[in-house]
Amino acid sequence: MLDVLVREDLTFADEVFRQAYKVKLAYVGSKVYLRGIIEFSNFCQKNCFYCGIRRSNDKVNRFCMTDEEIIQTALIADQSGYGSIVLQAGEKSDEAFIAFVERIVRSIKKRTNNRLGITLSLGEQGQDTFRRWFDAGAHRYLLRIETSNKELYCRLHPDDHNYDVRLNCLDWLRRAGYQVGTGVMIGLPGQTCEDLVNDILFYEKHDIDMIGMGPYITHKNTPLAAASGSNTKKNFKLALKMIALTRLRLKDVNIAATTALQSLNPQGREEGLKVGANIIMPNITPVKYRDDYELYEGKPCLDENADISKTCLEKRIQFIGEEIGYNNWGDSPRFFKRNKG
């Protein structure tokens, strides 16, 4: 794997991409499953050095959507055939927030007759909270490890963030019954190709069901951007290689072609699908809130809309010879295999 990441020879990379696409077709097929992502709040108790909505960025206009706004957005996603949504927000762990999420998840499940699948992406939480949200009806959870290199993790986060707590959370999520997703940022300052190989081995060791990885992109109001820049072209290529290698190594997992890929290249997500990804997460957050959820600069605010018929997503996917798996949760085949024993 290391030579694929290190070598800059394009013919060699193309061959790896072709192999990865074959493995994708054999293990998960050519259907692309959608998760409409609703970024419902940008309040965050954390202060990650790379992130635009970190607690200390006082230039951010903080917002939190209301119950009804979130539910209405979810209902449009359901009616337009998404099959599932992701509820994402900055991290908060007070009881009011926990109860708010629990209530929303329950309502969405009830009002869609259990049709809509719900993935949560709400940071580190206690074991009880993970259980409460699972009991309310969420069945997948994304919690990125950001990097599997503990020392690098410590350099990217202030002292009150703890790598071991994050590991424990992944374990608790699995025990609560979720399909577990994780991922890393690619091209972080100080990150080596060996680190990236270890990230893939980390996914394997922890038997992860879903992977969401994207290039690191600077945000000007963050300490990490002030300390060093990022080479976007290089990070884009590296991110594609990471998707391909992850597909080749883990075979039957779900892999997302992330928004960050698309920020670096308008065709970024399609490129991701062509090298092994099988999931797309269109942003369906109401447009008026999108500018305030800027994790990194240049985050696209494209033609996406909760109503798929009003976007050109279907055409873009057909153009690369794939089709959307409408009205389907598109769960990770790996999860079912493990649970069958």
* Percentage helix, strand, coil for the chain under 3-state DSSP, each rounded to 5: 45, 15, 40
Among 39, 124, 146, 271, binds ligand 5AD (CB under 6 A): 146
Q: Are 332 and 252 in contact (CB under 8 A)?
A: yes
Give the nearer residue to ligand 5AD in terms of CB position, either 73 or 182: 182
- Structure-token pair, residue 8: 């800059």
Residue 46 interacts with which of ligand SF4, ligand 5AD, none, CB < 5 to 8 Å by class: ligand SF4
Site string for ligand SF4, 118-137 (x = CB under 6 A): -----x--------------
Contact positions with ligand SF4 (CB under 6 A) in 188-227:
none
**Per-residue contact flags (x/-) with ligand 5AD for residues 278 to 317, judged by CB under 6 A:** -----------------xx---------------------
Quick one: which of 90, 187, 276, 330 contacts ligand SF4 (CB under 6 A)?
90
Q: Structure tokens of 38?
A: 């609703």
Binding mask 73-112 for ligand 5AD (x = CB under 6 A): ----------------------------------------
Q: Which is nearer to ligand 5AD, 188 or 317 (CB)?
A: 188
Cβ closer to ligand SF4: 52 or 282? 52
Q: Count Cβ atoms within 10 A of the Cβ of residue 54 and give its class: 0-12 exposed, 13-18 middle, 19 or more buried.
A: buried
Would you count residue 185 as binding ligand 5AD (CB under 6 A)? yes
Q: Do residues 275 and 240 touch, judged by C-beta distance below 8 A?
A: yes
The DSSP string of 171-237 is HHHHHHT-EEEE-BEES-TT--HHHHHHHHHHHHHTT-SEEEEEE----TTSHHHHH----HHHHHH
Per-residue DSSP letter, 117: E
**Residue 51 in the binding site for ligand SF4 (CB under 6 A):** yes
Does the protein bind ligand SF4 through residue 54 (CB under 6 A)?
A: yes
Residue owning tokens 């699972």: 134
**Which residue in 217, 242, 256, 284 binds ligand 5AD (CB under 6 A)?**
217
Single residue of 51, 170, 210, 317 touching ligand 5AD by CB under 6 A? 51
Q: How open is the CA angle 58-59-62, to the nearest 5 degrees? A: 80
Q: Shortest CA distance to 105 belongs to which of 76, 67, 77? A: 67
Smallest CA-to-CA distance from 3 within 229, 280, 241, 224 is with 241
Q: Does 275 bind ligand SF4 (CB under 6 A)?
A: no
Closest to ligand SF4 by CB, 61 vs 113, is 61
The residue ranges that bind ligand 5AD (CB under 6 A) are 50-51, 144, 146, 185, 214, 216-217, 219, 260, 295-296
